[in-house]
Every structure is written in C-alpha cells, then in structure tokens.
Amino acid sequence: MIHHDEILDIVNEEDQVIGQKKRSQIYSQGLCCFRVVNTFVINSLGKLWIPRRSAKKIIFPLCLDVSMGGHVESGESYEDALQRELKEELNLELKNVDFRLLGYLRPHQHQVSAFMKVYEIKLDNNPDYNKNDFVENFWLYPDDLITWLNNGEPAKSDLIKLVQMFY
C-alpha cells in the first residue's frame, strides 16, 4: 500500500476538521493542516528502535524514521490511526503493548510537519516490521542518534526535532 493515496482530513489551527484532500494533493501543495501519529519504540536500556525507510517510499526514501508513523485518515481519530499503523508497520496490537502519549504537537507552534500525537512503546525485542516499509533498523541511544543525524545521516525531517523534544 506504499502508493495508496488516502483521503486525509484538513484541519484548522484548532485541529478541527474543515475538509478533506488526497494525500498527494496535500504534499504537492506543501500543506501542514493534516494529522499524523508518530511512535518511538524504546527498550529497557533506553535505546530507541530506529528503522530506515524503504527505497519505494514516495517521501524520504532510505531515510531514518521514527519507529512507526502514519497519517490519520479521514474520519479516524489519532488513536484509531495509531492502532492501524502499529499493526500495518510493526505487526503489533495496541492492546498488547505498554504505550503512552509523549505529546501533542501543532505545526506552527512546534515547527513540525503536521498536527501530531507522539507516542512511546516499551519493547525489548525487534518488532516484526513490514519489509515494504523498512529495510533495516538500529537500536540507538537518543544522543547517538542525534550525533548520526548531525553528521548527515539522511532522515525524515521531524525525526531530530522529536528526539530532542522528548529524549
């Protein structure tokens, strides 16, 4: 489903739905008035599970990414999207994991790409990740990840901001 062009809700500055657009239109117009979920997997040593996106991804191919991320589709809640994406990308059931909300971010206030809820999942083993989404992964301490990113490792644009903000 890499090339699936979902319908996403368009939201106002208060994160209230005011319309819908195709994902491709949102990106081609450079909009940030849509919703996403992002999740970090963290182990008992404090290391983050960081995957590299596949070459087939339309945006940020072969870049490092949060452990799991996705768009909130039209009509979904953030929590619905978290549950769906967790199953699609990491083959995990939300009801079977220890998770918590790290924060709620707004694009203009926090300089991120969209309205987003960021979660954390505690897990000590590699998730059974979707090989269409990711090609490799690393367990990294947040400081080591930031060093990699500052040294030019390609990554999704929000990754360094989120790691600095929450870790």
> What's the start-to-end Cα distance of the chain, in Å?
31
Residue 1: predicted pLDDT: 39
Tell me which residue has tokens 């040294």. Answer: 151
Question: 27 by DSSP, 3-state: which?
Answer: helix
Q: How far apart are alpha carbons 69 and 41 in whole angstroms?
A: 11
> Of 15, 41, 8, 9, which Cα lies nearest the Cα of 118?
41
Cα 132 to Cα 125: distance, rounded to the nearest angstrom: 20
Q: According to CATH, what is the number of the domain 7-166? A: 3.90.79.10
For residue 118, what are the β-bridge partners? 38, 103
- pLDDT of 3 above 70: no
Count CB-CB contacts under 10 A for residue 9.
21
Q: What is the mean pLDDT of the chain?
A: 95
pLDDT digits (tens, 9 = 90+) for 103-146: 999 999 999 999 999 999 999 999 999 999 999 999 999 999 99
